[in-house]
Amino acid sequence: QVQLVESGGGLVQAGGSLRLSCADSGNTFLISRMGWYRQAPGKQRALVADISISSGGVTNYADSVKDRFTISRDNAENTVYLQMNSLKPEDTAVYYCNAAHWVNLFRGDVREYWGQGTQVTVSS
């Protein structure tokens, strides 16, 4: 069973920085992409950023975090990082790691896995 182990959340003042990390216990060659989502109280879970693992490291960011957050990967360690700079109170949320693993490469089918979430709180 694939497990995603997250770390790095916490409390920070506005303007500060945090780095989240997520390690995937699965087979490196089956990982299609990894990313981070967040869910604030009363809101739906939404994509923050993701990065392809199997096709060149293409990244994708939510408009609200562009130029402030950077997602990166260490393929050898099956780990993805989210560097969060210039944090704002509206970034406060539970951040969830997500990984998509190939189930059928030819059909493009993937299975998604989720971490348990890590709290990020930004005080004003």
pLDDT band at 108 (very low <50, low <70, confident <90, very high): confident
> What's the CA gap between 95 and 107, in Å, rounded?
30
Of 22-26, 54-58, 81-85, give the lowest mean pLDDT range. 54-58
Query: In this predicted model, which residue has the larger pLDDT, 82 or 105?
Result: 82
Antiparallel, parallel or unpaired: β 79-84 and 69-74: antiparallel
- Mean pLDDT in residue range 84-88: 98
Q: Is the pLDDT of residue 55 over 80?
A: no
